[in-house]
Structure 1
Amino acid sequence: MDSSQRVRAILSFVQAADAGSFAAAGRVLGITSAAVSKNVASLEKALGVRLMNRTTRSLKLTDEGGAFLRQARVALEALDAAIDTIAAQRVSPSGRVRISTSWAFGREQLMPVLPGLLSRYPALSVEVDFEDRVVDLVREGYDFAIRGGNIPDSTLVSRPIFHLNLVLVASPAYLASHGVPQAPHQLRAHRLIARRFLNGRISPWSFGAEDGSIVMFDPAEAAVLTLSAPEAVVRAACDSVGIAQVGVHLAWEHLRSGELKIVLHRYHQPGNYEMVMQYPHRALLAPRVQATLDYLQEAFSEDKRLHVPRDALDAYVA
């Protein structure tokens, strides 16, 4: 089969599977039912497997036919997206974009840049859900999510935004009252603020040992306050409740103002965390989604709070 015959045969197969009969598929494609049957038979011959079992009243996919149908849909969607992409070069992206993000990042980083996005693309509309749970993008109908942490390998595409460094912080008033810890083991004598994830796990603190190994510390051992929201952890540290582990991007303005100081900077490990934009794998993205992703990536790259060099933190150590 040449390329044009292959495309006609695949279209005939997909339409027949969707419509349930060769006659219905022929009406959609504007050809006879006999032509649809011939195209499907040619495709089966080329593949060397039966894709459909036919009766006088119905069509039923074989296991091989079901697998082929799923792959054929991906290919046809890619062709449609290619056409949309070319057409989009002549018009501004339009339509609704659905985003899932956390409360903290959504309020502090995403919200300030959305007016610029909507100004650049007036035909766009944006719907944002602020929640800290991990959503199912496909099932719940999101175009993409902004997520932070240890991002697991998955079928989703991850576009990095920034490396999410962690620091231990406390207010000057707390440190004046309780002293500045000089080694990780001294934390057990301090008042600590722990972060609990939605799955109930307490976020551990990591320290480098003299032999180069990593030692994990559970702050729950000495926690006087346990919170699930990272911005609440920062607020509690500013209010002199105790020592907390927070993302640099959340603490940066408080460090610069003097509300917070960094402790155990020599020992504390910043973690292997990142913030990413994740979306389902597709050969080509819809123009409205592509334009939004590109705009946000550019805007986030200019946010200095997200890209503080680790050596710049030395100036804020207690």
Structure 2
Amino acid sequence: MDLSQRVRAILSFVQAADAGSFAAAGRVLGITSAAVSKNVASLEKALGVRLMNRTTRTLNLTEEGGAFLRQARVALDALDSAIDTVAAQRVVPSGRVRISTSWAFGREQLMPVLPALLSRYPSLSVAVDFDDRVVDLVRDGYDIGIRGGNIPDSALVSRLVFRLNLVLVASPEYLVHHGVPQTPRELRAHRVIARRFLGGQVAPWSFKMEDGSTTTFDPADAAVLTLSAPESVVQAACDSVGIAQVGVHLAWKHLCSGALKVVLRRYHEPGNYEMVMQYPHRALMAPRVRATLDHLLESFAKDKDLHVPLEALDAYVA
């Protein structure tokens, strides 16, 4: 007997023992009495013992049948308990949620919203790995991944958190000493801070010229400092090392405080990048994961630093 046949046979046996007849058991299970009888007979054949003695009017359990019935009830009660546990979690999410994210976003945006999540769901626990490398969510056992950039198509479900626009910035002190570049060509005469990604590449900076053409600048050619962590690039710009390309969400508070200024705003292309939350499955999502996703999306939607309109940068141009 395969597993499904075994389960049907056990249910038929237990129901027949409770109801006292195959006909009554069939009415409860929605099958014919003949089907109940066949299921019980198959179970007896598989076990090699008689579980019931049948007459035209009664069913009597054998000694083996009574022992089997007690064990079958334990197994069915365990299944009911498992179902009740999962159903209860739909009301009160519980268990551990594993999240993978980058160090910068994790520290600045994720960490501040986790206390409210844990307060809202006391039975929930969260494990966060801060890692800038791209991980395999399924293979590595993560429930949620938060990543930014050009997100490739995959079997994962992606939910947009915000558009990851880029901006060129420098400190007022740097600009006083080195001047404000007026065109992309002037960048070659400036000190530049480059961002190196995990694969070793340094992404070019893109510009749209007045005649509609597009040009690029390779910051690696003029870099006086090359860094892999985006928050370090921002800090270096604040420390007057040079001009840097950074995410608007990372630069915004420094622009507002006056620690940074926007350069080449009229030419610089903000890119077509995005920050997303990814997870393996949409259907039958565990309540603990659904509750976490909903809380994070709601919290990130309220974070004004993540949704700065590009036109707002005009107020901070050098």
Give yes or no for TM over 0.5: yes
Residue 152 of structure 2 aligns to a residue in which SS?
coil
Q: What residue number does 1:315 align with? A: 315
**Shift of the alpha carbon at 1:217?**
1.6
User: Counterparts in 2 of 1:1-318, with a 5 A limit?
Assistant: 22=2, 26=6, 30=10, 87-88=87-88, 91-318=91-318
- Mapped to 2, the partners of 1:309 and 1:137 lie a distance apart of 32
Cα-to-partner distance string for 1:64-112 (whole Å, 9 max, x where unaligned):
xxxxxxxxxxxxxxxxxxx889925763100000000000000000000
Q: What residue number does 1:54 align with? A: none
Q: Structure 1 residues 185, 159: CA separation in 2 closer, same or farther (over 3 Å shift)?
A: same
- Mapped to 2, the partners of 1:85 and 1:203 lie a distance apart of 49
Kept after mapping to 2: 8 A contact 1:118/1:125: yes
Query: Quick one: which amino acid aligns to residue 184 of structure 1?
Result: P
Residue 290 of structure 1 aligns to a residue in which SS?
helix
**Shift of the alpha carbon at 1:283?**
1.6
- Mapped to 2, the partners of 1:97 and 1:186 lie a distance apart of 49
- Mapped to 2, the partners of 1:240 and 1:302 lie a distance apart of 32
Query: Quick one: which amino acid aligns to residue 105 of structure 1?
Result: F
Residue 193 of structure 2 aligns to a residue in which SS?
strand
Aligned identity (percent) is 76
- Mapped to 2, the partners of 1:136 and 1:311 lie a distance apart of 37
Kept after mapping to 1: 8 A contact 2:89/2:288: no
**Shift of the alpha carbon at 1:26?**
2.6
Q: Give the RMSD, CA atoms, in angstroms.
A: 2.4
- Mapped to 2, the partners of 1:29 and 1:218 lie a distance apart of 71
Query: Quick one: which amino acid aligns to residue 258 of structure 1?
Result: G
- Mapped to 2, the partners of 1:252 and 1:28 lie a distance apart of 63
Query: Quick one: which amino acid aligns to residue 239 of structure 2?
Result: D
Kept after mapping to 1: 8 A contact 2:143/2:289: yes
Tell me the TM-score normalised to structure 1 length. Answer: 0.74
Please list every run of 5 or more consecutive structure 1 residues that lacks an aligned counterpart in the other structure. Answer: 1-20, 40-82
- Mapped to 2, the partners of 1:196 and 1:253 lie a distance apart of 23
Kept after mapping to 1: 8 A contact 2:90/2:287: no
Q: Structure 1 residues 151, 115: CA separation in 2 closer, same or farther (over 3 Å shift)?
A: same
Question: Which protein has the larger Cα radius of gyration, Structure 1 or Structure 2?
Answer: 2
Please list every run of 5 or more consecutive structure 2 residues that lacks an aligned counterpart in the other structure. Answer: 13-34, 40-82
Cα-to-partner distance string for 1:195-216 (whole Å, 9 max, x where unaligned):
0000011022110022323222
- Mapped to 1, the partners of 2:220 and 2:186 lie a distance apart of 14
**Shift of the alpha carbon at 1:227?**
0.4
- Mapped to 1, the partners of 2:180 and 2:304 lie a distance apart of 28
Q: Structure 1 residues 125, 266: CA separation in 2 closer, same or farther (over 3 Å shift)?
A: same
Q: Structure 1 residues 84, 226: CA separation in 2 closer, same or farther (over 3 Å shift)?
A: farther
- Across the two proteins, how many residue pairs are aligned to each other? 251
**Shift of the alpha carbon at 1:29?**
7.0
Kept after mapping to 1: 8 A contact 2:227/2:233: yes
Q: What residue number does 1:42 align with? A: none
Q: What residue number does 1:7 align with? A: none
Q: Structure 1 residues 175, 149: CA separation in 2 closer, same or farther (over 3 Å shift)?
A: same
Kept after mapping to 2: 8 A contact 1:88/1:287: no
- Mapped to 1, the partners of 2:88 and 2:133 lie a distance apart of 34
Q: Structure 1 residues 109, 28: CA separation in 2 closer, same or farther (over 3 Å shift)?
A: farther
Tell me the TM-score normalised to structure 2 length. Answer: 0.74
